[in-house]
Structure 1
């Protein structure tokens, strides 16, 4: 039996709240990775994490995700606390989703992470306001104290329906 998300949720929230910025990596059509630093927001829906990224739909990011929708988010602190989130990223266009993401960023999300999106976009209807839905298929959490004690990281993956 695998780890449930509820077993790692508090450490996930604490580490992300402490670090805030993630390194997002995508891969182009020739298999070459590209990384950028940004702020994603996360919530828990039906016991599983769900992420959102307010972002400019740049030509590179858009092209990479069109070829390969997988994106990895890495969080690390000098305390050796780390979270890795492997996702499938899809662009969303729905007004309700965009408003929801705008509100999450504005409020600081459930994790205390966010920023006023009005610094970058006029409103959720701004054509430059891109939103990616981030559906994790693997979350790895490691605290530095666990690493020092020789304990392995904890990994969550969604249950596969049979």
Structure 2
């Protein structure tokens, strides 16, 4: 059974629990011919003014960059063998390299691990917030779904 919720707050705890336990998300984009491409990454999430907001620290790659330039819509999927699932449909937008305040926020958010358990020290891969190899994407969700595995109860929030 699927239920639509009015407020992200109604599913936030379940979402945070699943993401914090699963950590790795499959990110799917589409190419210019509409074919999907998936890769496994670790985004972090927060709630801003009652709305979910996400961030992705990643390396710039020609394929991912081309896909998002053509179509910024993406999906992040989380899954456990117990069938607990979380899916986030979002629009991805690159954060300019000179937006040091946003890049510092993301650096700190990964360090704090948001939700708990989901982040990691970005210094494992990048020298700092101004590292030219660090690409930061702002993720603006328009749909979030959580599915509880034991009874397949599904709840969906839409912006």
Q: Shorter chain as normaliser: what TM range?
A: over 0.9
Contact 1:55 1:131 in 2 (8 A): yes
2:25 to 11, 18, 22: 22
Name 2:16's counterpart in structure 1: 13
Contact 1:104 1:110 in 2 (8 A): no
- Counterpart check, 1:98 vs 2:103: yes
Name 2:156's counterpart in structure 1: 155
Q: CA deviation at 1:100?
A: 0.5
Return the alpha-carbon distance in structure 2 between the equivalents of residues 11 and 146 of structure 1.
Answer: 14
Q: CA deviation at 1:110?
A: 4.0
Q: TM-score scaled by structure 2?
A: 0.93
2:150 is paired with a residue whose SS is helix
1:11-160 paired onto structure 2 within 5 Å? 11-93=14-96, 94-147=99-152, 151=153, 153-158=154-159
Return the alpha-carbon distance in structure 1 between the equivalents of residues 120 and 140 of structure 2.
Answer: 21
The unaligned stretches of length 5 or more in structure 1 are: none
Q: CA deviation at 1:146?
A: 2.8
With CA pairs under 8 Å and 6+ residues apart, which has the higher RCO, 1 or 2? Answer: 2
Contact 1:71 1:86 in 2 (8 A): yes
Query: Is 2-11 or 78-87 further displaced after alignment?
Result: 2-11
Aligned residues: 154
Return the alpha-carbon distance in structure 1 between the equivalents of residues 82 and 59 of structure 2.
Answer: 31
Contact 2:86 2:144 in 1 (8 A): yes
Contact 2:20 2:115 in 1 (8 A): no
The unaligned stretches of length 5 or more in structure 2 are: none
Q: CA deviation at 1:21?
A: 0.3
RMSD: 1.2
